[in-house]
Amino acid sequence: MGPEEEEEMAMASSSSQQQWQERVLELTKLLQEQGDPPFLWAVEVGKCLLGAGLQAPSVELGQLLISHLCWSNNGPMLWKYLEQAMGTRLLNSLHILALLTFRVIPYRQLQPEAYRLYLELLNRYAFSPALLDGASCQEKTVKAVDEALQLSQVFGTPLTELGQTVVLFLFTVISNLLDATAEDWGLPVGWSEKPWILTGNTGQHDMEIDVENTINEKRQRHRENLRRTNSSMAMEVIGKLMEHKRTSSLLRLVRRNMPEQWTGLFQRLQMYESHSSLSNSKMATEMFAQLTGCIQRGLSQEFRPNQHRAIKALIDAGSSISLFEHNHGVGRAASWLPFDLFMEDAMEGKQLLTTSAIETLAELVKSLQAVNGASWQETFLGLWIASFRLIQREREPLEGPVPHLDARLSILLSITPLAVMKIIEEEERSLQTAGSNTAGDFVSTDEHGRERKGLGTRRAALASSLKILGQFESLLTPPQSVVSAANQAAAKAANFVSSLNGGIVRFDGMSSNDSSSRTGGNMWHLIVEACIARRLIDSSAYFWPGYAGELVSPLPQSTPVQVSPWAAFMEGAALSVSLRNALIATPASSLAELEKVYQIVINGPEEERTAAARILCGASLTCGWNVQEHAVHLVLKLLSPPAPPDCRGPVSHLVANAPLLYAVLLAVTSADIVHVLSLYGMFPEVAVALMPICEVFGSISPTVPQTSNTGEDISVYMVFSCAFLLLLKLWKFYRPPHEHCMLGKGAPVGSELTLEYLLLLRNNRLASSFNTPVENSAKENGQYLGERSSVIGSSLPQPLIPVKGQSPGALSLIAQPVFIDSFPNFNAWYRQHKACIASTLSGIVRCNPLHQIADKLLNMMYRKLSKGGTVSSTTGTSASSSLSNSSGSVGEEASLRPMLPAWDILGAVPFVVDAVLTACAHGRLSPRDLTTGLRDLVDFLPASLAIIVSYFTAEVTRGVWKPASMNGTDWPSPAANLHNIESQIKEVLAATGVHIPSLTGGNAPATLPLPLAALVSLTITFKLDKSAEHLHGVAGPALESTAGGSPWPSTPIVAALWAQKVRRWHDYIVFFSSRTVFKQDKHAVVQLLKSCFAAALGSSNSLVSKLTVHGGVGALLGHGFRSHLAPGGMSPVAPGFLYLRTYRAIYDIMFIPEEILSLVVGVARDLSTMETDEHCGQTGKSAHRLKSRQLSLAVVMAKVKQASTLGASLLCVTGGSGLVQILYQETLPTWFLSGSGTKPKSEGSVSILEGYAIAHFSILCGACAWGMNASSLSTKRAQMINYHMGFLASALQQKFSLGCEHATWKAYVIGFLSMMITCAPNWISDVNLETLRKLAIGLRWWHEPELALALLERGGCRAMSAAAELVMS
């Protein structure tokens, strides 16, 4: 077709359009003159449309009639014709109302009749589904409405769907009617420039409007009356639009998805109401007040969980029962069980966290507050009580290499306040950013339908929760180690109050020297002081009832005042030996004190720098709870001392700081400090700080040792070994490779921690702090309850504290991404290390430098044995046969030590260990000599222990070595207490309900795999003091892990040998040995899980006891390690405590989601069956029995919630987001498809309760693992939620059949979606729109339209159209 033909067709089409328009106008004029009824006009116009090939409803016809009507033909008959066309669907109601809104509102004063008719049409058709009549020509209708009202320009979003257009149209109409009415009443307008709709284009239409002076006086009065009544009618129409169920649902979409526009409308309404009251316009004031009420009533119609009694009970279980019964499980106390499990789990000394406990706890607090539907006061109170229980659980920790009481106090007095601070600051920042009324909160409802008390209430809720803590006296007794600190805190409060009262009479009327009042503080005073120190509350807390007035009295004047050593230090006292020791033992109370010490470390005299470093690593780090986060930050900076301005390279300045680094490394290596660094999630930063130390000190040959100011000789090897062993401990390389293979994709990230992962975490933190693009894949990994790979944020001071005299490039390494390739020597060893773990060592030729170094090491180790020649590192028989006796002089001994860089020695150590183990296996080297030689090697270079451990654990895994007989002749014998150890292990397990008949080894001789025998023999030669703590930090976990992976009874044999060496560790050794039973025995794990549920729920053999016997946290976690030898043997350990210390030892955790799900369902089934039996046949007998049944539902749902909360907590503790992913992807779909565990022909109430229990369990698992709001795990959460919601949608569409009961399935879907809507609405915005549509359709089939609408409402702007279509259909 050519251009000429196209032009001819266009002209023909234009001519045809002009013809039917002229025909319509002629018909309208003719029938109007004849006075024919509107129905006849509609019939004739319909014929014209058909003749022109147009489809009804017609956009073209609407534009033609409105143009004809406004204003040259503004007659009553034409308005009737217009209404007839809308009623008969010739015209689209939405389009006509949009055109009239633009045409009529600006001329409401000049055309009051037209304005009244417009309001009548709006009142009639705005509530009708006819607004969606344009679906057949959606694109044309949307475009016409947008052109009429310029919606896309006003709201800043393109309009493509009809439902979205309807929503924005209604909001625009309401907004402009409100402003127009306020203007008509003479009130100040709420905008700087008048909206274009109200202004209109008056110049275009003025010529068409009748001149005012041509109207007679009677009509003028009529029009004045119309103008007055039109304003009232406009307000009534707005009120109806706001209150009507259908239109209010549409307007809720604006409030939820366009908060700025909604807030603007609300603020103008408030302003109009205020000005109307000032102008003494009673009618206007009343109308605005009524409109506010209409808005509140309309928006309060949204979906709430109380529409389903069972769901409401799950979200708000236990509200009618005692609020916090710390020994009981039923009620709200059970809702905060994840707090207890998280805190107790954080006390595991071998758990090296890569993320801050502050971040994790803050996210957990927000998640539980949402899922439990609790106030912030309740949430904070639950958090504090869980922290107090943590302290009471371990007042006297078990003797052994475990974190002590200071770590538990750090959780209460440092980690928890910092987490609360993060939550409060998050809210206050959002308020500062968004303003004081960002979401139209005048509706007074939150996600749970409760009345809002105002914004920014978290700080007030914190103060309220702290004030209540004084009522829990049984939890407030301080441990003996902090009694003095508690007394000082209490005395501080009492003296403060007394000073304000003139020091004569106390505020409660008691004299300051009244001896009748008790003197002494408790844990309440310590936590209040911790919050005051961080400015979470102020000193008004001292006036709380019972805080200062009744518990303590001010110190009498005769009492000597004990001056803090820090006060003397701040006043300028010299750092004498006594003052140094006092500062090391006394925690600092302020950041200024710590900064002054740090300045001495950086710029002070050489003789004071090391002492100052020890002060920073002393009590201020372990128990300076009010400044602990700053101490952690400064200690981390000590590991990267700044280079002086005249420094020529990094080697010289690090070597010059060797005494300082050694002092810091020795302190940081201790178990307590490592645990503190772990709680603050600082391991990635510590790893980055240690790598240059290892690279530098491992690359230089040892020279004459430096002497510290304490007279201690410090060698290159000592500094290197401390840094190297600590670095390797951070990523747990010593775990047997067998465990890496068996853990699978559901394992916690920490179980397969690598150095690359630590560096990636640190680089991502650096990128987030500087807002630079760096690889973000590490953010998708999580361990416990959704660990976040982000900076601690407000928990640690940012940026770094400036140091006087520091060169600009001193922190260049810290401020740059760090990769392992940046350290060539470290990288070379790391590659060799992974190769040695992956496969057996291959022989090396003699010309290889490693062979020569290995020979030197062997000669050094066995100098007394080598007579006839040198000892060879070749791993064959001939090399091993050269081992023989000899002796040498002292000078000879020194000359045999190879003075080589540590990296060269570490590269040869694997071949040395392989040679001596091979020689021992062939009988050419005695076990005693093997152990002695290895110990000499460790004494020479302590870092070699890491290589020895790595080699032995890998060889045990391969299983190629013959067993060694632990007979007391060749190898040490465990016979003295082996039987006792085995029986006590069995007792520990039996006390928790775990019965394994094959635990005892019988009468078989005690044997161990040869590498394990060598390892245990080596480790028992180490001293148990501070000097060897860096060795035990690596050897201990490696020995425990290797023994646990070996055949039974390897663990009892190793335990017996160590119990003989360290008798005071007996209880610790027995307890931790009992954990290895669960490594490969799934049946034992299942038994322990069942015991956890039985203990927490207070169950026994009788079903009735499930509701009468108390369980809860006390029964689940017991008293921790308080299992010292009791009369007749060891006292029992609580099953929950045993599980928290055991789950990391489980090889395969993939089965745990299914087992926990089965236990949760089993509890629900038992409870619902019992509830049905108890009340069978009672319905309708009496009102009393009906109330009894209602109470039973509340109690049963509380119990179900407790079971699902326990299950979710255990699941997230065990595998974090990895296991929750398995739950959503595999376990839940498989359970519903197969009907696992479903009893045939179950009672309806039984099946329904099962569904609700699974729903709460699933939601809580997701909340704990992924959080409620945007986080580093948002992408993974979106993927999993999308997957699971897709499964739900497909099942609702009956694309496949389900194996479970329909009642169970329906209860699960409704419960899961209801709780997601109520507790986790942000999740819904991640779900695909098509999936949301399918779910909404399925819910409508189930007669759940409110739930379907609520789901779409929270789907964001993209789902606005689908929600509107659902409302209007």
Q: What is the pLDDT of residue 215?
A: 54
H or E, element range at 626: none
Look over the chain and give the mean of its residue pLDDT values, rounded to a whole number: 78
Q: Compute the Cα dihedral for 777, 783, 787, 789 and give only its sign.
A: negative
Mean pLDDT of 1002-1027: 87
Mean pLDDT of 1065-1083: 86
- Kindly indicate the confidence band of residue 203, based on its pLDDT and cuts at 50, 70 and 90: very low
Least confident of 364-373, 906-915, 1067-1076: 1067-1076
pTM score, two decimals? 0.85
- Kindly indicate the confidence band of residue 89, based on its pLDDT and cuts at 50, 70 and 90: confident
Residue 1071 has pLDDT above 50, yes or no: yes
Distance between first and last Cα of the chain: 44
Q: Are 613 and 660 in contact (CB under 8 A)?
A: yes
Residue 890 has pLDDT above 60, yes or no: no
Residue 888 has pLDDT above 50, yes or no: no
Q: Are 60 and 17 in contact (CB under 8 A)?
A: yes
Percentage of residues of the chain with pLDDT beyond 90: 30
Least confident of 248-262, 691-705, 1236-1250: 1236-1250
Q: Bridge-partner residues for 1125, per DSSP?
A: 1130
Query: If we measure between CA atoms, which residue out of 669, 643, 671 comes closest to residue 657?
Result: 643
pLDDT 10s digits, 579-633: 999 999 999 999 999 999 999 999 888 889 999 999 999 999 999 999 999 999 9
Mean pLDDT of 116-134: 80
d(CA 359, CA 197): 49
Residue 1305 has pLDDT above 80, yes or no: yes
Q: What is the pLDDT of residue 562?
A: 61
pLDDT 10s digits, 432-445: 776 544 444 433 33
Residue 1187 has pLDDT above 50, yes or no: no
pLDDT 10s digits, 407-431: 899 999 999 999 999 999 999 888 8
Q: What is the pLDDT of residue 913?
A: 93
Least confident of 468-482, 889-903, 1073-1087: 889-903
Count of CA atoms in the C-beta half-sphere (13 A) of 645 = 7
- SS3 helix, strand, coil % of the chain, rounded to 5? 65, 0, 35
d(CA 571, CA 1160): 62
For 892-1030, list the strands marked E by DSSP.
963-965, 1007-1009
pLDDT 10s digits, 1127-1174: 445 567 899 999 998 888 887 888 999 999 999 999 988 887 665 554
d(CA 489, CA 478): 12
pLDDT 10s digits, 346-405: 988 777 777 899 999 999 999 999 999 889 999 999 999 999 999 988 766 667 676 678
d(CA 305, CA 1178): 27
Q: What is the pLDDT of residue 548?
A: 81
Mean pLDDT of 768-792: 41
Q: What is the pLDDT of residue 157?
A: 84
Q: What is the pLDDT of residue 619?
A: 93
Tokens matching residue 718:
């000592």
pLDDT 10s digits, 806-843: 333 333 345 688 888 989 999 999 988 888 877 777 65
Residue with tokens 């010059």: 656
Tokens matching residue 55:
């489809």
Query: If we measure between CA atoms, which residue out of 63, 65, 57, 54 comes closest to residue 27?
Result: 65
Q: Are 1117 and 393 in contact (CB under 8 A)?
A: yes
Query: If we measure between CA atoms, which residue out of 1344, 1256, 1236, 1360 comes closest to residue 1298?
Result: 1236
For residues 697 and 871, the model is more confident at 697
Count of CA atoms in the C-beta half-sphere (13 A) of 709 = 17
Residues 68-85 as b/e (b if ≥16 CB within 10 A, e otherwise) read: bbbbebbeebbbebbbbb
Query: If we measure between CA atoms, which residue out of 121, 24, 35, 10 comes closest to residue 63?
Result: 24
pLDDT 10s digits, 713-726: 688 999 999 999 99
